[in-house]
Structure 1
């Protein structure tokens, strides 16, 4: 499978996210602007045969930490290396822009994301407990230096 990674607009990110079933209430453009308008960010999309099949979006948290905030891959394109290619491209950009760490947060019930992060060299640094165990937030970090 030939996977192309390109920078994306926020509108393109929104369009892709609406087709990912795990995202029950997709963010609106105003939500993105609230979080991203005053920070350096990177929005990437993955293309297969010209079709957008995934995305990855992250931003500068300060203190040389890049937060990989949001991403996903359409179900029919999972297990083909799309998420890895997006993550690798993001990591290359993050290193070039002198960040020392990448952080990511996932929910306990998103097991594939948690496993992907652990296999990619991230370590669990904190757990935000919620009322339901499956909703616990797991914060992971990867050192780049």
Structure 2
């Protein structure tokens, strides 16, 4: 049974270690993640756990009084295709909306098509594309949390 938990602020060391194990396999910058996360305002960790092991996560933080940024998210390779990313995203959006944020935004890359599709399925709109400083094509997306009709629409 996979449980979804959330933490406003840094979770305990065991949870952070589980997140870092998954994070480093995909993003390879686990060392700087903890340091950066600790300084982000209103940081929220949404974590999927099975048998006391982290199998997925979403991390976000406040950009302003009205805007929230969905920063990182990942699911362990062995647990993909089971709806975990959707479940974590839905919980993150509900918690952020309950905290009175009006807009949630995120960025992704063209190479992470599954994440792009998931964001669009959950009501995000593409607002901009650009080439970053490393020459990587990036995609900005945002979603109004005030318009609940679009959540999960096809």
Whether the TM-score (by the shorter chain) exceeds 0.5 is yes
**Please, which runs of 5 or more residues in structure 1 have no aligned partner?**
none
- Whether the 8 Å CA contact 1:65–1:103 is kept in 2: the answer is yes
Moved over 4 A (4+): none
Q: How big is the shift at 1:103? A: 0.4
Displacement of 1:41: 2.0
Q: 1:33 to 1:132 in 2, by over 3 A?
A: closer
What is the CA distance between 1:3 and its match in structure 2? 2.3
Corresponding residue pairs, total? 140
What value does the CA root-mean-square deviation take over the aligned residues?
2.0
Listed as ranges, the gaps of 5+ residues in structure 2 are: 147-154
Counterpart residue number, 2:140 = 139
What's the secondary structure of 2:111's corresponding residue? coil
Would the aligned equivalents of 2:60 and 2:70 in 1 still touch at CA under 8 Å?
yes
Give the C-alpha shift of residue 14 in structure 1. 4.9
Q: Which is further off, 18-27 or 63-72?
A: 18-27
SS of 1:124's equivalent in the other structure is strand
Contact 1:45/1:86, CA 8 A, preserved across alignment: yes
For normalisation by structure 1, the TM-score amounts to 0.85
TM-score, normalising length from structure 2? 0.81
Kindly state the Cα deviation for residue 131 of structure 1 after the two structures are TM-superposed.
Answer: 7.1
